[in-house]
Amino acid sequence: MGTLLQDSGLEAGVPGELWNLENPDAVRAAHAAYADAGARLLTTNTFGGTRPRLDLHGLGDRVGEVNRTAAQLARSVADEHGLLVAGDLGPTGELLAPLGTLTREDAQALFAEQLTALVEGGIDLVLVETLSDLGEADAALAAAREVAPGLPVAVTMSFDTNLRTMMGVRPGDAVAHLAAAGADAAGANCGRGPEEMEIIAAEMAQARTDDILLVAQSNAGLPQVVGDHFEYDATAGDMASHATRLARLGIDLVGGCCGSTPAHIAAMGAALVPG
């Protein structure tokens, strides 16, 4: 989403979530591009949609409006194509106690506030992504049980520090913890590219239980400076081969994260579902 919005003119330092309100046509066009590419699930443009993240841009008092509108935009495209909408919850940006001052109860309240608006906008499932701290994951799961008890919840973490999260969590330990905590799906997103994601996916597969799905959404490689902007160095063909290997490892939900354009998604879909 960020890649497409930047290509559409989103300036550096401007939160993509603001465009849900100020340039909804661009957000809708991004969703439509992924839908046309064969995506089966659209993710709302709300990664930074918690109050602390929006406060950084003077938007904290518009949490409900930002998230509700984002869900409605994704819903409108999804309904045209028969797709599902995932309500996206990113990290709050705050450290939980004892490393920081945010309590787990406060984190749950922040996620619940965001999720309430996403549910009002019509999401089908909850996607909590790019987390480092299992405590924050627990808070998000508790918020989902509070606000949207009937919706499935997927939680993915970013294992970008020597195959661990910034807080030292290993992939297998994350899967075991999230399964026990009641997540419907667990996995990894972002990271350092397809090759590392496949190592992570193998560790997750070893730790899986029968009652949880596994998710993997890798960045399209690593960003490289090309002229006045960044481009990611994994081609659509690279990501298609990656998707096939993930499926062989037992990953149930395959997607793309940073730098994954509709062309990448189309190639991945064609590799996973030939013809």
Flag whether 244 is marked binding.
no
- How far apart are alpha carbons 12 and 116 in whole angstroms? 29
> Is 21 labelled a binding residue?
no
Distances (CA, A) of 143 to 24, 105, 107, 198, 258: 27, 9, 9, 30, 26
> Is the alpha carbon torsion for 156, 130, 34, 71 positive or negative?
positive
Contact between 174 and 163 (Cβ < 8 Å): no
Cα–Cα dist 260/249, whole Å: 21
- 220 assigned binding-site residue: no
Whole-number Cα distances in Å, 86 to 61, 154, 216, 225: 23, 9, 15, 31
CB 65 within 8 A of CB 116: no
Centroid of chain to Cα 73: 17
Q: Which residues make up each annotated binding site?
A: 190, 257-258
Q: Which residues make up each annotated binding site for Zn(2+)?
A: 190, 257-258
